[in-house]
Amino acid sequence: MNQQQIIEDIQAHVKKEADSITQQKVMSLVQRRKSMEQNLASITAEADAKIAEEENRINSRWARHILQEERRVNLALQDRVVRTVNDRAWSRLKILRENPEYSEFLRDWIIEAAIGLGYGLDSGGQQAEARIRCSRKDRNLIQIDLSEIQERFLALTDRPINLGFDKEVLPPDSIGIILIDAAGRIAYSNTLTDRFRRASQDIHRLVMERIFPGSSE
């Protein structure tokens, strides 16, 4: 083997080694690129999942907030409507004394209060005693009908009742009566204010049924 062949063999071997190294580097780069792409895809997918999770959390939070706000607005509207109805009803009732049938209302309220005190049909006919507390203006109206009220109570309950007037009087603008038992321990208020307060729940129920049907209130 001459010197030229030796050189050519060396060159061929070097080229082969160089090609092998280059191929290994290329393969390594391909693998690294593939690994990087896989890692990037994994990171991107994880980021997308976290973004979607955060979007769902934000949407859920806003949905709850919107529902709460809608409920608050609905409750405020319902409360305003009920208060408006109550205010209008009260404004009409405040002039009840001007009604020609006001005396009849007072008679009925006294009898109702007497029954509310327990003077009913289970008394065995024993006479009841009660005092009427009212304004001076209403006292004048009741005084005229006092005997009739006692007769109507007797006819209704089969129990006589002796009605008188309490020493205390209600304010001049007060409408209605308070009936007090003879011992002064128990009282039944049939003033317009207390009657209206007792009726407020029914007013609220009617408003909700007619104006806000299906409401949870």
**Cα–chain center distance at 216:** 8
Question: What is the residue type of 197?
Answer: R
Calculate mean pLDDT across residues 122-134: 80
Per-residue pLDDT at 19 exceeds 60: yes
Distance CA 109, CA 104 (A): 9
Label residue 189 by pLDDT band (50, 70, 90). Answer: very high
What pLDDT score does 1 carry?
60
What does 67-118 look like in DSSP terms, one character per residue?
HHHHHHHHHHHHHHHHHHHHHHHHHHHTTGGGSTTHHHHHHHHHHHHHHHTT
Label residue 105 by pLDDT band (50, 70, 90). Answer: very high
What tokens does 47 get?
A: 């980021």
Question: Quick one: what percent of the chain has pLDDT higher than 90?
Answer: 26
What pLDDT score does 14 carry?
66
CATH entry, 99-203, from 3.40.50.12240, 3.90.470.20, 2.60.420.10, 3.30.2320.30: 3.30.2320.30
Per-residue pLDDT at 93 exceeds 70: no
Mean pLDDT check: name the lowest of 42-46, 70-74, 188-192: 70-74
What pLDDT score does 53 carry?
83
What pLDDT score does 120 carry?
64
